[in-house]
Amino acid sequence: MVGFSGGAKYLFPGISGPEMINVTHWLGALLTIRKIIGVKETAVRAMIDAAAEFVKTPVTLASLVVVGDGLAGVFVGSLKEAWNAAADLSSKRHITWVEKPFKKVLAFAPPMYDELWTAGKAMYKTEPAVEDGGEIIIYAPHLDKISDVHGKYIYEIGYHPLAYFLNQWEKFKTIPLGVLAHSTHVRGGGTFENGVEKARIRVTLASKISEADCKKLSLGYLDPKTINVADYQGKEAEGTLYLAKAGEMLYRVKEKETPKP
C-alpha cells in the first residue's frame, strides 16, 4: 500500500523482514488507502526510498508496465528513474476514471487469488469509485479460505474501519500491524464513535466461506450460486458495475474542476 508498486518496494518491504513489512503497511493504513492508492508521491513511498538510500550495492531496475497479456512499456535504469517513468505510464494505463461513483459493484476475483488476503484487491481497487452507503460484492465462488499464514489473527479481529482499531488500541496492539492494515483495506472507510461502528460502504463476500464465518468477520454474505452475472452487466448508467477481472485496474472518480471566480 504505497501508491504505485515497484522501485524500492522490491527491497523494502519486498525482501526485508516482518518489521519493515508491518510498519510500511500500517503507515499506508493510517493514511487510508483511498488517499494513496494510485498516487505517485506518498509518505510510504518516501519512507521506502529513504530506506533504499542505505543500500550501497548498485541497483539497476528493469520496470515493466503490463496491460492484460501485453507489455505497454519497459524502463531500465536507476532504481528511482526507471520507477518514475513506469509509474507515469501506469497512471495512464492502470486507472479507470469514472464520472460519478457507483451504488453497487460485483467484483469477480479470478482463481489466481486463492485467499481473501489477496482477493481483497477486488475491494480496495474499486472502493474509491463507490458512493457512501454503496456495496461491493467480492464474487469469488472458488475461494474457501481467508489466509493460511494470517487467518488466525484475522478471525480474531475481523474486518473493520481504521477508527475501530485506533479507538481501541489497547485491545489490538499485539496484533501484527500488517494484519490490521489488511483488515482496514478490505473493510474500507468508516467511523467508530461511542462504541458504535459505521462503515462507509457494505462489503459482501460471495464465496465458499460460510455465512457464519462472514458474520464473525463482520462481512456480508451472499451465496455465490444465487448470483446471475447478467443481472449486473451493462447497468453502469443505473449505478451498477460488473468487473470481470477485479483487482487489475484501479477505479477512481474524476475530480470536479473548481469554477474560476
Residues 6 or more apart whose CB falls under 8 angstroms from that of 169 comprise: none
Residue 260: pLDDT band with limits 50, 70, 90: low
For residue 255, the model assigns a pLDDT of 83
pLDDT at 261 over 80: no
Predicted local confidence at residue 258, as pLDDT: 52
Whether the predicted pLDDT of 121 surpasses 80: yes
CB atoms within 10 A of CB 172: 19
Domains of the chain: 7-93 (no CATH), 97-253 (3.90.226.30)
Question: Is 103 in contact with 134 (CB distance < 8 Å)?
Answer: yes
pLDDT value of residue 257: 57
**Rg of the chain's alpha carbons, rounded to an integer?**
19
Q: What are the pLDDT digits (tens) for 142-186? A: 999 999 999 999 999 999 999 999 999 999 999 999 999 999 999
pLDDT tens-digit readout, 200-220: 999 999 999 999 999 999 999
CB 115 within 8 A of CB 143: yes
Q: Measured between alpha carbons, how far apart are the two ends of the chain, in Å?
A: 37
**Tens digit of each residue's pLDDT (9 = 90 or more) over 100-114:** 999 999 999 999 999
pTM of the model: 0.93
